[in-house]
Amino acid sequence: MNSNFSRRDFVKASAAAVGGISIATLPIETFANSSVDDTLKVALIGCGGRGTGAALQALSVKQNVKLVAMADAFRDRIDSSYQNLTKGKVKDRVDVPEERKFVGFDGYKQAIALADVVILTTPPGFRPIHFEEAVRQGKHVFMEKPVATDAPGIRRVLAAAEESKKKNLKVVVGLQRHYQKSYLETYKKVIDEGVIGDIVAARCYWNNDGVWVNERKPNQTEMEYQMRNWYYFVWLCGDHINEQHIHNIDVINWFKGGYPTEAIGMGGRQVRTDKKFGEIFDHHYVEFKYEDGMILSSSCRHQPGTVSDVSEHLIGTKGKATEGKIFDLKGNNIWRHKGEGDGDPYQVEHDVLFDCIVNNKPINDAERGAKSTMTAIMGRMATYSGKKIKWEEALNSDLNLMPDAYTWDTLPKTLPDKDGWYQIPMPGKTRAV
């Protein structure tokens, strides 16, 4: 933000940008983004690796921004994140004294209250309550994908999304392919120009070795252990079909311009044979069916030593498309994205968010992010249960995965047996909806 751009200028610009609506008719939360000293104050909720990266990107925008608060369930996460942010290029934009470092389950409320813009990067199970609170307080939001791990959480996000629109809040979800030039150019060719004709089928993949594991340590409560090893518990992560494969599924939804009406699939746990892997699968295969009958073949796998493939593919009546490339039906390349001036999409999504905040441009990814997350959850419901799952029954499911309370002594709903093993979903037996 230009240092000469005053609060008065912002309010005047806001009035002009909302198409002649009197500024007095807008909710008071609309103005939460404009600090008296013209600095956009940022709070980081969730201080792990992704949170630290998102904060670095937010603090690298051209506007006048400052990180003023941090919150995490674990003190060591705050300390590590703070250390990393204060030794790099954005260190002069970090102003978080001890009294603005909030540790514990409820610290997010205090951190949000101090900010104009909040970054929500905890494990995704917490995203619904954090987004809900940010909207309640009238704050602009960057939140990582996925935005929930169960249908009740999705419904909370969708309700908060509607409220965020009423309050003129700007929301970006970390499905960064929407901000990646190669995808945007491909979308222009495929959808706007119709180069491949009608889309009649699609494939997408997130197949690779998998991610980190945090072993159980002495004296940890069950809640602390599961939160430290959050990727392997469904209430926190949603399984890897939700946590990672959502990127690819979301691309197909984007290009298709809608969401699947049903899903059927299979999955299991073939190489994750140790108790340290919690309760999630290591592979999922889902066929998603869209309203016009199109089938998306969706595959994700975490199995070391296997073929790695993270990609999306569209098949049309006149050709085929993948990121940055279009082929005719014979396989000849007929268009390729040149990759000039692409920029880092992780940075671009923050650049866009802060530009929209300062210039009061409309942007709100929350509903789209929630519905693509719901698509991934519906896929998990299909693989866990072995049944055909319809969109409406999935979205309206009352299966709530979240704990009854958030304390270190609260027992999560998933617990190990006397030997430390967690119950693995069993198709044909597991209730997933």
Q: What pLDDT shows up at residue 58?
A: 98
Q: What pLDDT shows up at residue 4?
A: 36
Question: Tokens representing 88?
Answer: 């790099």
- This prediction's pTM: 0.92
Residues 6+ apart with CB under 8 A from 351: 61, 62
Q: How many CA atoms lie within 13 A of 22 on its CB side?
A: 2
Q: What pLDDT shows up at residue 340?
A: 85
Give CA–CA dist 24/429, Å, rounded. Answer: 56
CA distances, 248 to each of 144, 176, 223, 299, 314 (Å): 15, 11, 31, 10, 12
Q: What is the pLDDT of residues 235-284, one digit of tens each?
A: 999 999 999 999 999 999 999 999 999 999 999 999 999 999 999 999 99
- Which stretches in the chain have pLDDT values below 70? 1-37
Q: Give the residues across from 84 on adjacent strands.
A: none
Q: What pLDDT shows up at residue 16?
A: 35
Calculate the CA 395 to chain-centre distance. Answer: 18
CA distances, 136 to each of 143, 154, 165, 361 (Å): 15, 17, 12, 21
Q: Side chain identity at 384, as an amino acid letter?
A: Y
Q: What pLDDT shows up at residue 18?
A: 32
Question: Cα dihedral sign for 224, 227, 233, 238?
Answer: positive
Q: What pLDDT shows up at residue 24?
A: 31
Q: Side chain identity at 261, as an amino acid letter?
A: T
